[in-house]
Structures are given as C-alpha cells and as structure tokens.
Amino acid sequence: MKIGLGYDVHKLVYNRPLILGGVNIPFEKGLMGHSDADVLLHAIMDSLLGALCLGDIGKHFPDNDDKYKNISSLRLLSHVSALIREKGYTIGNIDSIIIAEKPKLSPYIQDMRVNIAKTLNITTSVISVKATTEEGLGFTGKGEGIAAQSICLLTDNSK
C-alpha cells in the first residue's frame, strides 16, 4: 500500500474559464495557470505521483513547456494513470476537497467524479470530491483564489 498527499492553489482572474474536475463551471472568473489550471485535478495528480515517489506535476508537465499551454488537465491525469499502471499499482481510493468561497460547487461534484473515474479507468465509488468555504478567511475566503487537497491510496498489484 502507498499513500499520497497533494495540494494545489491558483489565483482567480478575469478572462479565463473556471475548470474544476474537468467541468467548465459558469463563473465570472477562472483560474490563472499554464495549463487549464484545474486545481482539483492538479492536487489529485500530485497525490498519485507522490504515493509512488515520482515527483510532482511540475516535474512531469513543466510550466515552461509550450506543449502544456492551456492543455486539459484530464489529458495530464490520463498520463499519470498510465504511470500508475506501469508501476504495477491500482487506485484504492481518492479523497479530495476544493476550497473556494464562490461559486457553489455542489451541482458539479458528480460530473467531476465521473470525469475523474473515466480518465483513471476506475469506478466513481472510490472517488470522493467535496467542497468547502473558509467563511471569508484567507485568500480563498476573500475570493482571490481556489485551492484543493487530495489524498490517495494505491495498492500493489503484485501482492
């Protein structure tokens, strides 16, 4: 068994789409970043990569490489999924949380879970996506950015 922890944060800006869990969410601001800046998927990828001591998403998808400019993080997650299989592991579960004051995310959570499951070739029953606010505190509470955290459990297929 291997456990991994991931965290990501991006600043909210105008003239960018808000994409979380591969879902385009209607909102006046989006997240700034080299790729689509999907903080949820970035945190999930970092937890998966970390569990196998493979570094982080910056190592695998550098923000100074134009081939990743505006790329869908679902495509990046697919690559991470292949690495997990190559190493002989299976995803036991993923538990994640999005930290954002606005917008309200509950209507989009199930679609996020479906996107993640489809991309990782696993069932939604092992993927938890939650959302919370920070009651107006900190940069997320003030609406300056969105953060996400993820933890995962990987199991060794050879045992």
- Known binding residues are 8-10, 34-35, 42, 56-58, 61-65, 132-135, 139, 142
- Residues 87 and 49: beta-carbon distance below 8 Å: no
Closest by CA position to 112, among listed 126, 99, 124, 100: 124
Annotated binding-site members for a divalent metal cation: 8, 10, 42
